[in-house]
């Protein structure tokens, strides 16, 4: 199995650009403090680059 990362939304989508809102929704984040675990791959990293100022990223350990 590959590495996994834990993504936590720490900032509101109010006032953000529509593509940033859509990126957060695609990552499964809907509210502040919501968390999701994703595989660490280039697709997810590219999405995170768009919303880096709104999320917190940690390495996931079970």
Assigned CATH topology for domain 4-59: Ribosomal Protein L30; Chain: A, (3.30.1390)
pTM: 0.91
Ranges of each domain in the chain: 4-59
Q: Tens of pLDDT along 2-53?
A: 899 999 999 999 999 999 999 999 999 999 999 999 999 999 999 999 999 9
Cβ distance 4 to 37 under 8 Å?
Answer: yes
Contacts of 28 (CB under 8 A, 6+ apart): 34, 36, 38
């Amino acid at each position: 199995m590959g590495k996994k990362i834990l993504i936590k939304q720490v900032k509101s989508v109010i006032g953000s650009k529509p593509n940033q809102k859509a990126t957060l929704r695609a990552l499964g984040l809907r509210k502040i403090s919501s968390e999701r675990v994703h595989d660490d791959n280039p697709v997810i990293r590219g999405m995170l680059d768009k919303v880096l100022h709104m999320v917190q990223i940690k390495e996931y350990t079970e």
